[in-house]
Each structure stands twice: as structure tokens, then as C-alpha cells.
Amino acid sequence: MSLVAGSYEKFIWGFKLKTLKSSQPPTLTPLFSFPSHLSPIKSVAVCGSAAASAASDDFVKIYDLSSPAEIGTLIDHDGAVTSLSFYSPQSLPSFPRNLLTAGDDGAVCIYDADPFVHLKTVHAHKKAVTDLAVHPSGKLALTVGRDSCLAMLNLVRGRRSFYCRLSKEATGVKFGLGGDKFFMVMEEKVSVHEAEDAKLIFDLEQQKRVLCIEPGMNGLLFTGGEDRSITAWDTVSGKAAYSIEDAHSSRLKGIVVLTRHGDDDDDDDPYMVASASSDGVIRLWDIRMAKKKPNPLTEVNTKARLTCLAGSSVKSIKRPWIGQTVPGKSRNVVKEDS
């Protein structure tokens, strides 16, 4: 298990999470820390041993967490890169198949991730893209932008297939783990929609602005933001299942669900959620103890103003690399128009 965080000070931080089958708590061991960008980092993404970061300097940096080392740079946007998302098949969660990036230029760049080769650029919005989400099938993606619009991208054909105006600007979008629902963040509200026709099911109302969301198992959605708490919502009933009050002393900037999935899991393997706050603290929680006002299992203080957090709960022996377009190589999920 690994965690990667980005900061306003242009630093990227990598941690290795070690869990023990005993009474000893898990630990977060530093992997690396260095100034990877020329401006504040806006987004990070992790899949298996591959990680990526994006910033206002127009660059996307690629990392190999098994080394750990920076292995290359992607330069295909004409503005700040605001959002990143890996896609991996559900049958092979540790092998990134594609990387999607979105930026202030309103475009979404689609890459093959084996190796990292630019496939196509799709112009999704008239203004900056604020967030993107890839469907678990890998066939489509959703984006929201500063033009107060929602766009759907057909990743098989590599084109925009749907575009509509929202009542107000959305700052975040995520698919549920099953792909049957998606969620949009609009200030203090998170709207829950049917993925098939975008029909609004209900709104999840918070007291303060929501800054990060992350889907979990069993229909849960974790939210965090200016209320400094982690709230788990039941997306079937629309009610809060439980909440970790005052999880941090400042606003939350990222949440990662690290629950492992496998046949060898047992009751000793905790259901873990990691959270990062703007004061530089990253904490790990066992959500099974949420109703008992839990203490964090472990924490680290980067002493930086963190802006984003990503993680992976699966291991990979395949190392990422940057390459050129290979004639005859399969494009996997994403294909360019002929």
C-alpha cells in the first residue's frame, strides 16, 4: 500500500504503508520527497507502482514507486493541469492501462500507460476543466469545468459525446465503484446521479464546503472539506452512515480508501481510510471504529500545505516507463478515430 501527496510548496511526498497482523499499529514509511514541479501541485494519481502529478507549470510528471524515482514528463497541455485519473481493468487493478489528464485549456489528454504514449487530445470544455472521472468499464469519462458544464467523453472513439449546462459550477466528479452512480460536488452539496441517464437521485447536504470525495465499498461515499471531518454517506438512503468528527485541525484536502480486496482478507485486515489536511498532516483511520470516536492508527506531518492525496492498496511488479508510439501496438481501451 502506498500514498502520494502534493503540496503548495511544489513538493511531492511518497509513503509506504506497512500493516502488521498483530497488535502493533501500521506505519507510514517515507519513500521520497522532492520539489517535482515549478508551481503548486494540483493533482496526484496512483495505480499499482505508477504515480503521476500535475501542477500549474503545465507538466505531468510520472513516477515509479518501486524505485522510487521520477521517470519522465508529459507535456501536451497549453495551461495548468488540474486533474489526473488512471484507468485499470477491474480484473487487473495493479496494472494501469490508461492515464487521462485535464487542464485549464479545457482539454483532456488520453495516454496509453504501457508505455506512456500520448494517444489523443479531446476538447471537452470552453473553459478550464476542474475535475474528471473514468468509468470502471474504461469506455467513458465525465468532466466538469469552470464553464458550469458537465461533459461525457466516449473513450472508445476518443470524442465528446454529451455536453450540458449545470445549475452552478461543479468542482468535483466521481463514479461509484460499481459504475451505476456518479457524484458531483457543488460547494456544500454533493449530488448523486444515475450513471445511465444522469437523473438526479438526491443531494447530500453538508454544513460547509466539500473539498474531496471518495467512493467506498457497500455503496458508501466519503466526503471531507472545511468542516475538518470525514463523513461516510449511504448512497442508497441518502443519509450519513457515520462520521469522524474533527479528524484534522484544518480543512481536508484529500481522502483515499485503502481497503484491500482479496480472498485472503480476514477480520485482522482493517478497513483503512487515509486523509490529508492543508496543515500537512496525513492520518490513517480504521473506519470500523468510526462510531467510537477513534484515534488515528498512525500519522505523519509533512509540515507543508498539502493540496491533494492519492493512494493504491494493490501491489504491482510491473514498472512504468515512458516510450514512443510502437507500430502495431494495441491501444487497449482508448482508440483514435480513423
pLDDT per residue rounded down to tens, the chain (338 residues)? 899 999 999 999 999 988 766 667 788 999 999 899 999 999 999 998 899 999 999 999 999 998 888 999 999 999 999 999 999 988 887 789 999 999 999 999 999 998 899 999 999 999 999 999 999 999 999 999 999 999 999 999 999 999 999 999 999 999 999 999 999 999 999 999 999 999 999 999 999 999 999 999 889 999 999 999 999 999 999 999 999 999 999 999 999 998 654 444 444 445 789 999 999 999 999 888 877 778 999 999 999 999 999 998 766 556 676 765 443 443 334 433 32
Instruction: Measure the CA–CA gap between 136 and 131, rounded to whole angstroms.
Output: 16
Give the Cα separation of 273 and 230 in Å (integer): 10
b/e map 58-87, b = 16+ CB within 10 Å: bbbbbbbbbebebbeebebbeebbbbbbbb
Q: In what order do the strands lie in the sheet with 181-186?
A: 172-175, 181-186, 189-194, 200-205
- 262: burial class by Cβ within 10 Å (0-12, 13-18, 19+)? exposed
C-beta separation of 291 from 285 below 8 A: no
Closest C-alpha to 290, from 310, 304, 275, 312 = 275
